[in-house]
């Protein structure tokens, strides 16, 4: 496995060298984990002139699902913060010092992650070091996944499907959004997740269909739409599933109509996933269905996004996004409509883009998308 | 209530004016909430030359425990991100634009919170605006709490005591750290918490006594030490309690000795809390007890810290901290010893510093600190 990490670092090093920089400092946790197999709290990864180093503010904990640092990587553990001067405890500052010691004259840093204050501390410990911007270089490497990564996402999706399936078998009326969300998170862990991939969203009645709705104390009532959005983190990889149900025996006509419409939009989005498809075209495929039905105002700004070590990664499937899908890119397709005061529908899947010769997009979240009356 | 927020902003404005700056931009969420009563996602608060403004990237959600923005404050809601150019969706950038429109020539920003990239975007939208550093000015205002804030902490502490008390009545042997942590978090919400104040820590056997241990799949066994650390968030305010128990009928001698020692250290720390006491002296009072018993190596870098809108605020009760306690400052006192391979003890309370005339430090977390055998 550790060859994977060495290969990733070598690809990043090629990028950094091509930009004329001799060292790189990676601090964004998901990026550190991608390149070093683990990102202990407060850690920073130095791609040095002579050697790569993972600098940590404490020894990595022995927790299998947080990963163990790549054994080919030298590990430097700083003494605890309280003991010395403030800046001494910052792994980024220590890494800058080491970059100079290795003879680097320039270093690219993640300006979208480092605060102004930390950036200044890095600059002041190494005044001879020319600092540049690494930009989203690591994020771009992360977009296309290998089969090992996809396998983690697949297991995470299975776990989320199981947790959701069990919830549907229990009695829902009278329970609050917050309790249902907590129960789902417990079930994710029961089934082997590291934890929830993001804050589980449960939305009932007028809250249903709101993107990223945070659960309230509202109780589930007969006749409600119920929207659930959850995901499992598995070995660091995060997937997402969202479904909308009706509570009670017979959905109202407006509920059936709205559901069918969102389902059609979501299917159009899924079916447009292919290597070479423009991000904005996937968005447009789903959005067009809802637009034509007169819901242009009620739509969220994007139709889907990449998933991986973070739940919201590149690419963004949105009207203004530039770029095209590659094979082996996992994305969500999650259109929805929310009508203020009434509620709405959201249907969300995680899929992996695959060429048609391999059967087209691979659906990871397989819970039914029929409108269930619970 | 809204006078409270206007008064806080006016104190910050005095600070900013004294530093010769005409506007200030607050982006750190806890700081925004402190000054504006709420911090909707992605929001930024402008203390402008003519008017204060809360800029949000979406309408604030109607969730009582996240607060509603102060009604005396003008609210500006930006259109969703996906619609226009990237920078348009950044509340900090929009606020900088408004600062210029109000005639400001200089603006202090939170350099310890803004990334280099966002700082550059702020600078480029307002090239005539001289940017300075607000530093930790708002954090310093937040150190001394009013009685309303302390009352939220007190209710949070009661909730944490209740959740912990219920756990102790259940069967523990054979359950995993992760399940116990999830159950505690569910109970916090049952009793009215917004949610957990931080990731609940449950540590058994060799993990017991580790600071901020993240729960694993290890199961509770007879003879274990069990360390639990949890807290409730209530109306945004976060408290903390930690206790260590023994599983089984009779603790071993080494367990009793270690417990008594940590208890003595924690009491020494608590008893040294008084207005005017130096931060480092509180730390030393607790640390000295453990040092003298030969545990200097096994000690965490700090003995306690402030709590409030964040779980880890100023002051830090640590050997190198400068400063003295004031009345109405809530802090934790949480010494512990962890012996690698064996486990350890941690005892953690949240207290409010009060003058002796008012009865001395007010203990918020009242669960017994006797060594319970469960």
Residues with Cβ within 8 Å of residue A281, at least 6 apart in sequence: A272
Domain count within chain A: 2
* A16 domain-assigned: yes
B254 to chain A, closest Cα gap in Å:
25
**What residues in A contact B109, CB-CB < 8 Å?**
116
Q: Select from A120, A141, A162 the last residue of a domain.
A: A141
* B296 domain-assigned: yes
**What residues in B contact A213, CB-CB < 8 Å?**
61
Cβ–Cβ gap B114/A116 under 8 Å: yes
pLDDT higher than 80, residue B108: yes
Residues A203 and A294 in one domain: yes
Which of these ranges, A274-283, B82-91, B121-130, B347-356, has the smallest mean pLDDT? B82-91
Q: Which 122-151 residues of chain B touch chain A by CB within 8 A?
A: 133
Percent of chain A scoring above 90 in pLDDT: 82
Cβ–Cβ gap A116/B117 under 8 Å: no
User: Does the beta carbon of B302 lie under 8 angstroms from any beta carbon of chain A?
Assistant: yes
What is the pLDDT, as a whole number, of residue B58?
76
Cβ–Cβ gap A84/B113 under 8 Å: no
pLDDT higher than 60, residue B86: no
User: B349-358, pLDDT tens digit by residue?
Assistant: 999 999 999 9
**What residues in B contact A120, CB-CB < 8 Å?**
111
A358 to chain B, closest Cα gap in Å:
32
On average, the pLDDT of chain A sits at 93
pLDDT higher than 70, residue B85: no
**What residues in B contact A63, CB-CB < 8 Å?**
214, 216
Residues B158 and B39 in one domain: no
Confidence of residue A1 (pLDDT cuts 50, 70, 90): low
The C-alpha atoms of residue B157 and residue B239 are separated, in whole angstroms, by 6
Which of these ranges, A63-77, A122-136, B157-171, B224-238, has the smallest mean pLDDT? A63-77
* B370 domain-assigned: no
On average, the pLDDT of chain B sits at 93
Which CATH number belongs to the domain containing residue A42 in this structure?
A: 3.40.350.10
Residues B283 and B234 in one domain: yes
What is the pLDDT, as a whole number, of residue B88?
46
What is the pLDDT, as a whole number, of residue A86?
40
Which of these ranges, A196-205, A253-262, A288-297, B15-24, has the smallest mean pLDDT? A288-297
What is the pLDDT, as a whole number, of residue A66?
75
**Closest alpha carbon within chain B to A62:** B216
B217 to chain A, closest Cα gap in Å:
9
Cβ–Cβ gap B80/A301 under 8 Å: yes
Which CATH number belongs to the domain containing residue A236 in this structure?
A: 3.90.230.10
Mean predicted confidence (pLDDT) in A244-262: 95
Mean predicted confidence (pLDDT) in B278-303: 92
Which of A63, A81, A190 lies closest to B216 in CB terms? A63
Residues B247 and B348 in one domain: yes
pLDDT higher than 50, residue B47: yes
Which of A61, A190, A318 lies closest to B214 in CB terms? A61
* B371 domain-assigned: no
CA dihedral of residues A356, A358, A361, A364 (deg, nearest 10): 170
* A195 domain-assigned: yes
Residue A180 has which token pair?
Answer: 């249902």
Smallest CA-to-CA distance from B318 within B308, B304, B334 is with B304
**What residues in B contact A61, CB-CB < 8 Å?**
213-214
What is the pLDDT, as a whole number, of residue B253?
95
Which of A83, A115, A213 lies closest to B301 in CB terms? A83
DSSP string, A35-92: HHS---TT-EEEE-SS-EEEEESSPPP--GGG----TTSEEEEPPPGGGS-GGGG-HH
**What residues in A contact B315, CB-CB < 8 Å?**
none
What is the pLDDT, as a whole number, of residue A311?
96
**What residues in B contact A320, CB-CB < 8 Å?**
82-85
Cβ–Cβ gap B316/A82 under 8 Å: yes
Mean predicted confidence (pLDDT) in A207-218: 91
* B176 domain-assigned: yes
Residues B29 and B117 in one domain: yes
What is the pLDDT, as a whole number, of residue A299?
79
**Closest alpha carbon within chain A to B117:** A112
Residues A121 and A182 in one domain: no
User: Does the beta carbon of B119 lie under 8 angstroms from any beta carbon of chain A?
Assistant: yes
What is the pLDDT, as a whole number, of residue A4?
95
Q: Which 279-298 residues of chain A touch chain B by CB within 8 A?
A: none
Q: Select from B140, B158, B177 the last residue of a domain.
A: B140
The answer to whether the beta carbons of residues A264 and A288 sit under 8 Å apart is no
What is the pLDDT, as a whole number, of residue B206?
96
Residues listed for chain A: 374
User: A99-120, pLDDT tens digit by residue?
Assistant: 999 999 999 999 999 999 999 9
User: Does the beta carbon of B68 lie under 8 angstroms from any beta carbon of chain A?
Assistant: no
Mutation choice for A interface testing from B31, B40, B67, B82 by most A CBs within 10 A: B82
Q: Select from A141, A174, A209 the last residue of a domain.
A: A141
Confidence of residue B132 (pLDDT cuts 50, 70, 90): very high
* B368 domain-assigned: no
Residues A304 and A171 in one domain: yes
The answer to whether the beta carbons of residues A248 and A223 sit under 8 Å apart is yes
Cβ–Cβ gap B319/A83 under 8 Å: yes
The ipTM is 0.86
What is the pLDDT, as a whole number, of residue A63?
63
**Closest alpha carbon within chain A to B316:** A82
What is the pLDDT, as a whole number, of residue B62?
60
3-class SS at B286?
Answer: helix
Residues A173 and A237 in one domain: yes
Q: What's the N-to-C CA distance of chain B in angstroms?
A: 45
Residues A103 and A155 in one domain: no
What is the pLDDT, as a whole number, of residue A80?
64
Cβ–Cβ gap B83/A185 under 8 Å: no
Cβ–Cβ gap B114/A111 under 8 Å: no
* A125 domain-assigned: yes
Report which of residues A30 and A41 the model is more confident about.
A30
Mean predicted confidence (pLDDT) in B26-47: 95
Which of A80, A109, A114 lies closest to B301 in CB terms? A80
Residues A192 and A285 in one domain: yes
Confidence of residue A138 (pLDDT cuts 50, 70, 90): very high
Residues A102 and A61 in one domain: yes
- Which residue range forms the structural domain that includes residue A7? 2-141
User: Does the beta carbon of A300 lie under 8 angstroms from any beta carbon of chain B?
Assistant: yes
**What residues in A contact B179, CB-CB < 8 Å?**
186, 189-190
User: B245-269, pLDDT tens digit by residue?
Assistant: 999 888 999 999 999 999 999 999 9
User: B53-67, pLDDT tens digit by residue?
Assistant: 999 987 776 666 678
Residues B131 and B155 in one domain: no
What is the pLDDT, as a whole number, of residue B42?
86
3-class SS at B21?
Answer: coil
The C-alpha atoms of residue A367 and residue A348 are separated, in whole angstroms, by 10
């Amino acid at each position: 496995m550790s060859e994977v990490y060495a290969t990733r670092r070598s690809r990043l090093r090629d990028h950094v060298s091509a930009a004329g920089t001799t060292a790189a400092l990676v601090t964004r946790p998901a990026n550190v984990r991608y390149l070093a197999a683990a990102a202990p709290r407060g850690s920073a990864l130095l791609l040095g002139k002579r050697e790569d180093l993972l600098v940590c503010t404490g020894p990595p904990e022995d927790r299998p699902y947080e990963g163990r640092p790549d054994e080919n990587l030298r590990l430097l553990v700083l003494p605890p913060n309280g003991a010395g001067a403030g800046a001494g405890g910052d792994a980024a500052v220590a890494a800058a010092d080491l970059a100079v010691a290795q003879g680097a004259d320039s270093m690219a840093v993640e300006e979208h992650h480092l605060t102004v204050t930390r950036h200044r501390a890095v600059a002041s410990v190494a005044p001879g070091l020319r600092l540049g911007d690494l930009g989203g270089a690591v994020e771009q490497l992360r977009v296309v996944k290998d089969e090992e990564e996809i396998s983690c996402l697949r297991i995470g999706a299975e776990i989320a499907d199981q947790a959701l399936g069990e919830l549907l078998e229990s009695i829902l009326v009278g329970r609050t959004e917050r309790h249902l969300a907590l129960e789902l998170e417990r079930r994710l862990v029961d089934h082997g997740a590291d934890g929830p991939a993001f804050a589980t969203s449960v939305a009932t009645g007028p809250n249903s269909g709101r993107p990223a709705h945070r659960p309230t104390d509202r109780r589930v009532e007969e006749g409600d739409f119920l929207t659930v959005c959850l995901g499992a983190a598995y070995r660091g990889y995060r997937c997402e599933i969202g479904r909308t149900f009706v509570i009670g025996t017979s959905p109202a006509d407006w509920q059936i109509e709205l559901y069918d419409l969102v389902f059609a939009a979501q299917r159009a989005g899924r079916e447009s996933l292919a290597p070479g498809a423009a991000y904005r075209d996937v968005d447009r495929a789903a959005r067009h269905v809802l637009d034509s039905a007169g819901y242009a105002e009620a739509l969220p700004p994007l139709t889907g996004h990449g998933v991986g070590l973070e739940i919201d990664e590149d690419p963004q499937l949105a009207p203004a996004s530039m770029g095209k899908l590659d094979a082996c890119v996992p994305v969500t397709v999650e259109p929805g409509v929310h009508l203020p005061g009434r509620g709405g529908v959201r249907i969300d899947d995680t899929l992996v883009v695959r060429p048609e010769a391999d059967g087209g997009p691979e659906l990871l979240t397989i819970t039914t998308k029929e409108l269930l009356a619970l």
